[in-house]
């Protein structure tokens, strides 16, 4: 086992431990109420799995802020920073797990609606909700999760002003995710997307939910503005790096390990930071792969395309961009106390760009 693999194992174990708690909490926050078919469809993707990266970020930030040992404190009754401080009156504890489930529910809602829009058949190894049920039910399941995420956040038990700020973060995050998704669709019809435009799209579509996950515990626990802002920035940085790394992995990881055809983004003419950069360097990106059919493409064709993108420095450009963002994000964690949970957040940032798939 290499050093990188050993560190990756530590991070994955930390994620796994928190995932157990999150998985237990999901049916508590989202019981199968009447009408049962609607709630079963709403829970379908949540129950199908997922790493729970965003809840892990949220819970770990809270553990670092509260300066408690990881996994030592009941997430349902988690200390706030106001406890014992008369000047910052607030509840002694909040239901931090509710906040963690709320962001995972938002994530699930966006995936359900995205899969309808992209007409994707599979998600997390199971049929997409609109395939397992139908488009009508999938639209409605997403809509239900949307309002449930707000209902769950409203029950966290923070002071009214902190609750208002948390809901503001959540609502604005959802608006930005919609804007990012709309830009992503719009980019498909354009061949002049600039790297800055791509990064802005990724920020909205992917990174803002990481940013919300990192900053919400600070908002709910009563941290100061500087802390909240830096944590938000950490989420934006690692969230963008996470998406850029996804684009790199699509080209560099063997198909069997990736779980889908390597280079499928190229075949489908999807815009990524790599193709956007290559086009600026004069590479004829649209013709890198001849076929538009993921089933028909050969490994040799993908190899040639990847060689051209390496030649133009585009893969290294994306790699470097992801590394820079992760370093920038890690630096922001200076606002947290130096403790085990903060170390985990640093390692989590590294993991997001070092992970093999």
Q: In this structure, are residues 248 and 210 in contact, taking their beta carbons and an 8 Å threshold?
A: no
Instruction: Compute the least distance from the CB of residue 66 to a copy of itself, in Å.
Output: 23
Q: In this structure, are residues 99 and 61 in contact, taking their beta carbons and an 8 Å threshold?
A: no
Q: In this structure, are residues 209 and 106 in contact, taking their beta carbons and an 8 Å threshold?
A: yes
Taken in order 180, 184, 185, 189, the sign of the CA dihedral is positive
Cα(199)–Cα(187) distance, integer angstroms: 12
Q: In this structure, are residues 126 and 113 in contact, taking their beta carbons and an 8 Å threshold?
A: no
Residue 354: partners with Cβ closer than 8 Å, 6 or more residues away: 4, 7, 8
Q: Pick the closer one to a copy of itself by CB: 112 or 306.
A: 112
Spacing of C-alpha 287 from chain mean position: 31
Q: Pick the closer one to a copy of itself by CB: 130 or 332.
A: 130
Q: Pick the closer one to a copy of itself by CB: 173 or 245.
A: 173
Taken in order 257, 259, 261, 263, the sign of the CA dihedral is negative
Cα(342)–Cα(89) distance, integer angstroms: 26
Round to the nearest angstrom and report the end-to-end CA distance of the chain: 17
Instruction: Compute the least distance from the CB of residue 116 to a copy of itself, in Å.
Output: 6
Q: Pick the closer one to a copy of itself by CB: 38 or 71.
A: 38
Instruction: Compute the least distance from the CB of residue 186 to a copy of itself, in Å.
Output: 6
Instruction: Compute the least distance from the CB of residue 322 to a copy of itself, in Å.
Output: 25
Chain positions contacting a copy of itself, by CB under 8 A? 33-35, 37-38, 113, 116-117, 135-137, 139-140, 142-144, 146-148, 150-151, 154, 159-161, 163-164, 167-168, 170-172, 174-175, 178-179, 181-183, 185-186
Instruction: Compute the least distance from the CB of residue 326 to a copy of itself, in Å.
Output: 28
Instruction: Compute the least distance from the CB of residue 353 to a copy of itself, in Å.
Output: 28
Where do we find the tokens 């930005």? 176
Instruction: Compute the least distance from the CB of residue 18 to a copy of itself, in Å.
Output: 26
Cα(276)–Cα(146) distance, integer angstroms: 33
Q: Pick the closer one to a copy of itself by CB: 20 or 134.
A: 134
Q: Pick the closer one to a copy of itself by CB: 100 or 149.
A: 149
Q: Pick the closer one to a copy of itself by CB: 94 or 306.
A: 94
Cα(145)–Cα(39) distance, integer angstroms: 9
């Amino acid at each position: 086992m290499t050093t990188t693999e050993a560190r990756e194992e530590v991070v994955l174990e930390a994620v796994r431990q928190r995932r157990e708690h999150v998985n237990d909490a999901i049916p508590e926050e989202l019981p199968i109420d009447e009408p049962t078919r609607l709630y079963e469809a709403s829970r379908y993707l949540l129950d199908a799995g997922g790493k729970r990266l965003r809840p892990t970020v949220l819970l770990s930030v809270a553990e670092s802020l509260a300066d408690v040992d990881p996994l030592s404190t009941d997430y349902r009754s988690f200390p706030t920073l106001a406890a014992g401080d008369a000047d910052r009156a607030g509840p002694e504890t909040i239901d931090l797990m509710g906040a963690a489930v709320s962001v995972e529910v938002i994530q699930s809602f966006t995936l359900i609606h995205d899969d309808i829009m992209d007409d994707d058949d599979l998600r997390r190894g199971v049929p997409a909700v609109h395939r397992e049920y139908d488009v009508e039910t999938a639209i409605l399941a997403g809509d239900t999760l949307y309002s449930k995420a707000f209902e769950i956040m409203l029950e966290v038990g923070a002071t009214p002003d902190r609750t208002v700020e948390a809901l503001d973060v959540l609502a604005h995050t959802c608006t930005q995710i919609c804007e990012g998704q709309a830009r992503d669709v719009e980019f498909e019809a354009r061949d002049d997307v600039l790297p800055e435009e791509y990064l802005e799209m990724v920020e909205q579509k992917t990174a803002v939910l990481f940013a919300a996950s990192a900053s919400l515990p600070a908002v709910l626990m009563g941290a100061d503005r500087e802390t909240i802002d830096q944590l938000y920035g950490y989420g934006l940085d690692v969230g963008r790096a996470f998406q850029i790394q996804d684009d790199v992995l699509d080209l560099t990881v063997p198909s069997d390990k990736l779980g889908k055809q390597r280079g499928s983004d190229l075949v489908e003419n999807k815009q990524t930071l790599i193709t956007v950069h290559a086009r600026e360097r004069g590479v004829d990106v649209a013709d890198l792969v001849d076929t538009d059919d993921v089933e028909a493409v050969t490994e040799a064709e993908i190899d040639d395309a990847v060689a051209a993108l390496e030649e133009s420095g585009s893969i290294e450009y994306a790699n470097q961009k992801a590394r820079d963002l992760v370093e920038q994000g890690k630096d922001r964690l200076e606002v947290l106390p130096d403790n085990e949970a903060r170390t985990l957040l640093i390692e989590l940032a590294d993991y997001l760009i070092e992970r093999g798939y």
